[in-house]
Amino acid sequence: MLGPSESPGELLDEFEAIDDHWKIFRKRRDIRLPADTRYPLHRAAAQLLKNAPRSLSSPPVRGMPDPGLIGAYDWLLAQHMPPALLIDDRNELLHVFGGAEKYLKIRAGRPSNDALDYIEGDLRAAVFGALQRAKKEQTPVCYRGVRLADQQGETCSLIVQRIVNPRAARQQFLVRFEPVAPPLATPVQVSPDTDHRRISRDRIETLEGELRYAKENLQATVEELETSNEELQATNEELVASNEELQSTNEELHSVNEELYTVNA
């Protein structure tokens, strides 16, 4: 429960409103919220918590692993992990594996926490659409034949998979990139009928792949627009709630004004 002029702030995603007028909220997930997003305790409450019995205090933080073991983990990941990005449900970049930095591009200006800001071209739209589908579905999402921005005709396969990590405060996703080698340029003899049929079949398969990718790209764009529309609707709801708070404050000021008028009389 909050006061009339308070709001959940950064914790808005972790709570659902039961009553917007009286500011009553319910927790969405049964997890422990990160310490850096909690509200500061009152001095008296902090002193009580400090003097509380050991059973009521928070459990001690475990020590960090052996740095040598962490170095071994990093070496194993660099050697055997395919090019991939580890991000959370807010699209924040957590880790880069296996040379996936070649798919990213750093822009001038202030750095961003959004991993999509470092991806360009068709690859960005494909990653966005795959993430939206992975958040709704439980199975991995795969897009094939995604064109890269800076490469001449080079394509890759994109796989986005949800990571099952009960200890994580937020949902995590693994975005993998599988490069597709371009076909070798070999002389083609078109005299026999079999070669004509093979070339036609290859051309049809290529066109079907491009059409399928265009459909997936269009679907990703539509999902991006739907997400933007939902954000605008949420902003509109916040503005409506702020307007209601201003109206209630205006009514309180009006009642106070009437009381002052009565006292003055």
Q: Would 156 be classed as within a structural domain?
A: yes
Q: Would 212 be classed as within a structural domain?
A: yes
pLDDT (0 to 100) of residue 61: 46
Q: Would 207 be classed as within a structural domain?
A: yes
Say how many domains are in the chain: 1
Question: Buried b vs exposed e over 49-80: b needs ≥16 C-beta within 10 Å?
Answer: eeeeeeeeeeeeeeeeeeeeeeeeeeeeeeee
Q: Would 251 be classed as within a structural domain?
A: no
Q: Would 17 be classed as within a structural domain?
A: no
pLDDT surpassing 50 at residue 199: no
Cβ(5)–Cβ(245) below 8 Å? yes
Listed in sequence order, the residues at least 6 apart from 104 whose beta carbon sits closer than 8 Å to its beta carbon are: 96, 118, 119
Q: Would 10 be classed as within a structural domain?
A: no
* Domain span at 201: 81-183+193-231
How far is residue 211's CA from residue 263's CA, in Å, rounded to a whole number? 78
Q: Would 177 be classed as within a structural domain?
A: yes
| Tens-digit pLDDT profile for residues 10-54 | 777 788 888 888 889 888 877 776 655 555 545 555 555 556 555
Q: Would 94 be classed as within a structural domain?
A: yes
| Tens-digit pLDDT profile for residues 111-153 | 888 888 888 888 888 888 888 888 888 889 888 888 887 666 6
How far is residue 178's CA from residue 176's CA, in Å, rounded to a whole number? 7
Instruction: Give the predicted TM-score (pTM) of the model.
Output: 0.47
Which CATH number fits the domain that encloses residue 221? 3.30.450.20
